[in-house]
Amino acid sequence: MFEGYSLAELGSIFAMQGFAGLILFSVFVLMALGLAIIFGQMGVINMAHGEFMILGAYVTYLCSNFISSTAPALFPAYFFIAMALAFLASGALGMLVEWAMIRFLYRRPLDTLLATWGLSLILQQIFRSVFGAREVGVVLPDWLMGSVAVTDTIEVPINGLFVMGLTIAITIVIYAVMFRSRWGQGVRAVMQNRVMAGAVGINTEKVDRYTFGLGCGIAGVAGSAFTMVGSTGPTSGQLYIVDTFLVVVFGGAQSLIGTIASAFTISQAQSTMEFFLSGSTAKVLTLLTVVVILMLRPQGLFVLKVRR
């Protein structure tokens, strides 16, 4: 497969493949961060995570239509507006769901799994009824399309760079919020010992609600970003669920660093295998490897406390 190419060309190809791996890594991190916060910090399995992402995507679609018809001059910048709105929309819905449903189920993770699955079905049908069963196309501003030539032979897709930048930004924000702010302290306190946290005056209910909302909001931003690289339809959320869960569980559910490490491992493994083998084989092998490793080390890569 590599005959007939000069060393420089091969170098370029491997560099581009490295970028592809990094882009996949960013995608996984974006998908998984929201879920990791919810699962890791709150022990809640949100099977409707994909649908929160797609809500963000639909918000982006509406934004795109609205701005291109009412304020075309703003169009190049609309994407940022759309992402902010996606964050707010998904976050708000998340808080509503937490208030209506999740807060009764904190001690029952298996039940939250089923309940959020039901929620995902309802959301899918709402999308279908409101936006139609067909996929919708989101028009992207020109500066996001195409690729940039890093060197003569290495080209990197711009939206890939955008996603990477976005991921880094969000990760930094989450880190700052979780580990450097007072509120993040509260979140971690609630996670470690809910009763004592309440006893020292932290409003555990509010903390839970905002954390869930934050997790869903990030999902919304991820969905918004994914309109650049994927489809937007009522059932598109299902495409991401299994991968997201595996990334979170593999990383060790309570550790955000674990999530990032696991996203990196899985994405590199998958993109490398895809390059050398065929797509399906790579997918099956990646899933199998992850599952086998999980069976050998069920706590995941990084663990703060042993969970059964």
Q: Rule CB under 8 A: which of 230-259 touch another protein? A: 230-233, 235-236, 238-242, 245-246, 249
- Count of chain residues binding another protein (CB under 8 A): 87
Judged by CB under 8 A, which of 77, 109, 143, 165 binds another protein? 109
Q: Considering the rule CB under 8 A, would residue 194 count as an interface residue with another protein? A: no
Q: Which stretch binds another protein (CB under 8 A): 169-177, 202-210, 255-263, 275-283?
A: 275-283
Specify the residue, 171 or 272, whose C-beta has the smaller distance to another protein.
272
Q: Are 116 and 48 in contact (CB under 8 A)?
A: yes
Contact residue for another protein among 110, 152, 195, 201 (CB under 8 A): 110
Own/partner pairs, 183-186, CB within 8 angstroms, 24+ separation: 183/207, 183/210
Q: CA 192, CA 100: separation in Å to the nearest integer?
A: 24
65 binds another protein (CB under 8 A): no
Contact 155, 147 (CB under 8 A): yes
Residues 22-61 that bind another protein (CB under 8 A): 23-24, 27, 43, 45
What binding mask, one character per residue, do residues 137-166 give for another protein by CB under 8 A, x or -? Answer: xxx-----xxx-------x-xxxx------
Asked whether 40 and 256 are in contact (CB, 8 A), the reply is yes
Distances from the Cα of 169 to the Cα of 26, 85, 269, angstroms: 11, 17, 24
Helices (H), the chain: 7-36, 42, 49-70, 78-100, 109-131, 158-175, 182-192, 194-199, 204-226, 238-251, 256-276, 279-296
By the rule CB under 8 A, 177 interacts with another protein: no
Per CB under 8 A, the list member of 66, 74, 125, 193 interacting with another protein is: 125
Whether the Cβ atoms of residue 261 and residue 251 lie closer than 8 Å to each other: yes
With contacts defined by CB under 8 A, name the span among 176-184, 194-202, 206-214, 294-302 that binds another protein. 294-302
Q: How far is the CB of 172 from another protein (least distance, A)?
A: 24
CB of 182 to another protein, least distance (A): 28
Kindly state the tokens that stand for 61. Answer: 């679609």
For another protein, the closer of residues 131 and 183 by Cβ is 131
Q: Which whole-number Å values give the CA distances from 104 to 97, 99, 207, in the listed order? A: 11, 9, 15
Note whether 72 binds another protein by CB under 8 A: no
Q: Is 119 in the site for another protein (CB under 8 A)?
A: yes
